[in-house]
Amino acid sequence: MYKALIFAYYFPPKGLSGVQRTTKFVKYLPDFNWSPTVITTGDIAYFAHDHSLLEDLKNENIRVVRVSGKEINSILKKKGTIKMPREIFRKLFAYVSAWLNITDNKRSWARQAYKEAKRLCSEEKFDVIFVSGPPFSSFEAAIRISEEFKLPVFVDYRDLWYGNQFAIYPTPWHRISTKKEEDAALRKVDKIVVTNRRVKERMMKNYPFLTHKKMLIIPHGYDAQDVAAAAPGAKKLTKKMVITYSGIFYEFITPKYFLKAFKQILKENPEVAVNIELHFIGFLRIENRRLIRRYNLQNFVVEHNYMEHLEALKKVMASDLLWFMVGKGRNADTISSSKMYEYFGTLKPVLACLPDGALRSHLEDYGASYISDPYDVKTIKSNILKAYEDYASGRQPVPDEEFVQKFDRRLLTGQLATEFQFFLKVH
């Protein structure tokens, strides 16, 4: 088999959304005659751990090598799974970290990953290097190995680097330095993988030397094996319509406008509201629970806390309507969430509160969707009422299954493997 060396800070047993994309590439690469070796973190403190994801890695052709840095997560590793802080404290830490670090605060881990990669490449032959960001500081390590061992390097953007929707630039110097760092990195890579066309267009505008040939779009997706495994355990425990949100709230991703819309339904259409349950899978912060109490919706909300991936998917599949939200932050049109594509895999109707952008475009093509502006309470309310009417009458919209199949994780990994093969011939 051919060999791929992969840098991935976010990787099982860590949980949450940043882990899924690289994990599924690694899971399916052996199907296409590629054996991945993943350099990832050792034990670290993190908000969620999902040991069930390690099942995806039980293949004799997959190897995982763990190294530790001196970033805050590694320093606090004995804490294990830590409580997610209130949003005000998370923002404060992010601001302090932005002052002290250009790009991100994972550079010490990247240095250790580089040393381990150098040892591995000195002992055996690899055919390609793949690195996924964020954290983008790991790009430098992968590029150094690429240059020293004459290997093609693929950089995978799960989000923008410069102009990232959550990035903080305390001074113009921080902003300019970040862009310069990305510019230098992009001039040295062989292929740039992005999740959607909006990211590609934004990067080509920021860095005019980039060409279409150098860019590759591979969207997020869903794992058909996971959907098949979860289906038998997806049991609905109520006769009410279940609306489910899976994930966490932070920055401009908030339940505020959805809850406000439902409060209006409770006031104006109580006969509808009493037949709906609002399920939340993930972490509700103190401020989220305060909103629920402010609108007096405690009797309508079912909180499931964080669940391992397959268990969460069972809850999602037992739902009648899946809710998704992205607010209007910087470059929000480029955001591409793996959660939405997993929603696609369930073939369930989706209630989406989104700005114009890549996600909204795909939801329109999906077909089974009720879409509104993220802050348009009136339309959100109307969409919930319409979704309930469709549910009660047995006329829920049906998605375009041919469109959905384009996002199968195994198919997407095949596209990546094909690009790897091309660079084998070139080099």
Helix (H) or strand (E) holding 6: strand 2-7
Task: For residue 54, give the DSSP letter.
Answer: G
The answer on 178 and 115 residing in a single domain is yes
The answer on 302 and 344 residing in a single domain is yes
* Tens of pLDDT, residue by residue, the chain (427 residues): 999 999 999 999 887 778 999 999 999 999 999 999 999 998 877 777 888 899 999 999 999 999 998 777 777 776 677 677 677 777 787 778 777 777 788 889 999 999 999 999 999 999 999 999 999 999 999 999 999 999 999 999 999 999 988 888 899 999 999 999 999 999 999 999 999 999 999 999 999 999 999 999 999 999 999 999 999 999 998 999 999 999 988 878 999 999 999 999 999 999 999 999 999 998 888 899 999 999 999 999 999 988 999 999 999 999 999 999 999 888 889 999 899 999 999 999 999 999 999 999 999 999 999 999 999 999 999 999 999 999 999 999 999 999 999 999 999 999 999 999 998 866 5
Per DSSP, what are the bridge partners of residue 386? none
The residue ranges of DSSP E strands in 56-133, in sequence order, are 63-67, 128-133
The answer on 246 and 174 residing in a single domain is no
Tokens describing residue 195: 């999740």
CA 241 – CA 243 distance, rounded (Å): 7
Residue 63 makes CB contacts below 8 A (sequence gap 6+) with 35, 36, 37, 38
The answer on 161 and 39 residing in a single domain is yes
The answer on 201 and 134 residing in a single domain is yes
The answer on 417 and 400 residing in a single domain is no
Residue 109 makes CB contacts below 8 A (sequence gap 6+) with 9, 41, 67, 68, 69, 70, 71, 74, 135, 137, 138
Cβ atoms of 263 and 297 within 8 Å: the answer is: yes
The pLDDT assigned to 81 comes to 75
The pLDDT assigned to 138 comes to 95
Give residue 225's Cα distance to chain centre. 19
The answer on 154 and 103 residing in a single domain is yes
Half-sphere exposure of 62 (CA within 13 A, CB side): 18
Cβ atoms of 104 and 135 within 8 Å: the answer is: yes
Number of domains, the chain? 2
The answer on 283 and 212 residing in a single domain is no
The answer on 142 and 270 residing in a single domain is no
Half-sphere exposure of 372 (CA within 13 A, CB side): 22
Q: Determine the 3-state secondary structure of 195 from DSSP.
A: coil
CA 310 – CA 301 distance, rounded (Å): 22
The answer on 217 and 307 residing in a single domain is no
The answer on 76 and 181 residing in a single domain is yes
Give backbone dihedrals phi and psi of 127, rounded to 5 degrees, phi first: -105, -25
The pLDDT assigned to 425 comes to 62
CA 290 – CA 293 distance, rounded (Å): 5
Greatest Cα pair distance, the chain, in angstroms, is 70
Q: Find the domain containing 138 and state its range.
A: 2-221+409-426
The pLDDT assigned to 91 comes to 75
| CATH value at residue 97 | 3.40.50.2000
CA 323 – CA 340 distance, rounded (Å): 9
Prediction pTM value: 0.93
Q: Which residue type occupies 216?
A: L
CA 101 – CA 111 distance, rounded (Å): 15
Please report where in the chains the tokens 């590439």 appear, as a residue: 25
Give backbone dihedrals phi and psi of 288, rounded to 5 degrees, phi first: -70, -40
The answer on 413 and 366 residing in a single domain is no
The pLDDT assigned to 426 comes to 60
Cβ atoms of 359 and 334 within 8 Å: the answer is: no
∠ CA 64-345-4, rounded to 5°: 25
Pairing of strands 321-325, 128-133: unpaired
Tokens describing residue 16: 């949450």
Query: What DSSP assignment string belongs to 284-345?
Result: --HHHHHHHHHTT-GGGEEEEES--HHHHHHHHHT-SEEEEE----TTGGG---HHHHHHHH
